[in-house]
Amino acid sequence: MTNQHKKQLGLISGILGILGSLLVIYLGSV
């Protein structure tokens, strides 16, 4: 695995983590 791929995976997992927590907050406030 190259460093470029690791960076992309980190970015994707970070975005998914943020979206996941936003979804939890949204569902919790409904």
Predicted local confidence at residue 30, as pLDDT: 85
Predicted local confidence at residue 1, as pLDDT: 62
Exposure string of 1-30, with b = 16+ CB inside 10 Å and e = fewer, is: eeeeeeeeeeeeeeeeeeeeeeeeeeeeee
CA distance 6 to 13: 10
pLDDT in tens, the chain (30 residues): 688 888 999 999 999 999 999 999 999 998
- Which among 16, 3, 13 has a CA at the least distance from the CA of 24? 16
CA distance 13 to 30: 26
Predicted local confidence at residue 27, as pLDDT: 96
Predicted local confidence at residue 13, as pLDDT: 97
Predicted local confidence at residue 28, as pLDDT: 95
Predicted local confidence at residue 12, as pLDDT: 96
pTM over 0.85: no
